[in-house]
Amino acid sequence: MKLIYEPWPWYIAGPMIACILFLLIMVGKNFGMSSNLRTLCTLCGAGKTSDFFKFDWKSQKWNLIVVLGAIIGGYIGAHFLSNTSAVALNPETISDLKSFGFESAGTAYLPTEMFATSALLSFKNMVLLTLGGLLVGFGARYAGGCTSGHAISGLSNLQLPSLIAVIGFFIGGLTMIHLIFPLLF
């Protein structure tokens, strides 16, 4: 039982995700988180501006409840199921991040330089977080899905479009880390 408090290895987490996929399919739904962002737009009244947001949001209520669960799950995971929040990264990754100014690498769950509440006072950090969010939201809807919708659901259903999207995710991610990060940090 003690193991539950340790970070979960990939061979526990992967099957758990497959289990979540299975459960959602078996209750007649699907696994895709980014469509909730569209539902939230509709709830904010975006239907007045674009037909893309004109749909019955109640048909997606179930997914918003999954999101609520994901928030509660994050609370439970962080407050009751963890004895450490430090992520045991590859030492090379740590020294690499330190050279970018991420001193918290190896000692925290998220970089404090970006995600501590005090980081809200950094103008540069606010710009980067906003930009990151904008790209995630725009890209996910443009591609018609995110990690859950394409990389898990779509690929599990052997969908070629999902493979193209996942290749895109990696082109984008590798470009950001290897080419753009050295310019930003």
Partner 1 sequence: MRTLIYLLIGILFGITMFKSEAASWFRIYEMFKFESFHMYGIIGSALVLGILVIQTIKRFEIKSFYGEKIVFTPKAKSFYRYLIGGIIFGLGWALAGACPGPMFTLVGAGYVPILVVIAGSIVGTFLYGIVKDKIPH
What residues between 152 and 171 interact with partner 1 by CB under 8 A?
152-162, 164-171
Among 55, 99, 124, 138, the residue binding partner 1 under the rule CB under 8 A is 138
Q: Does 77 interact with partner 1 (rule: CB under 8 A)?
A: yes
Q: Does 33 interact with partner 1 (rule: CB under 8 A)?
A: yes
Q: Which residue has the tokens 């904010």?
A: 44
In sequence order, the 6+-apart residues with CB closer than 8 A to the CB of 1 are none
Q: Which residue has the tokens 């990389």?
A: 151
Among 55, 69, 103, 124, the residue binding partner 1 under the rule CB under 8 A is 69
Q: Does 148 interact with partner 1 (rule: CB under 8 A)?
A: yes
Interface residues for partner 1 in 109-128 (CB under 8 A)? 109-111, 114-117, 119-120, 125-126, 128
Q: Give the length of the chain.
A: 185
Q: How far is the CB of 179 from partner 1 (least distance, A)?
A: 10
Q: Does 55 interact with partner 1 (rule: CB under 8 A)?
A: no
Interface residues for partner 1 in 78-97 (CB under 8 A)? 78-79, 81-82, 87, 89-90, 92-93, 96-97
Helix (H) or strand (E) holding 98: helix 91-99
Residue 119 is classified by DSSP as G
Q: How far is the CB of 108 from partner 1 (least distance, A)?
A: 8
Among 2, 15, 56, 58, the residue binding partner 1 under the rule CB under 8 A is 15
Q: Concatenated DSSP letters for 24-93? A: HHHTT----STHHHHHHHHHTTGGGT-GGG-S-GGGGHHHHHHHHHHHHHHHHHHHTS-S-------HHH
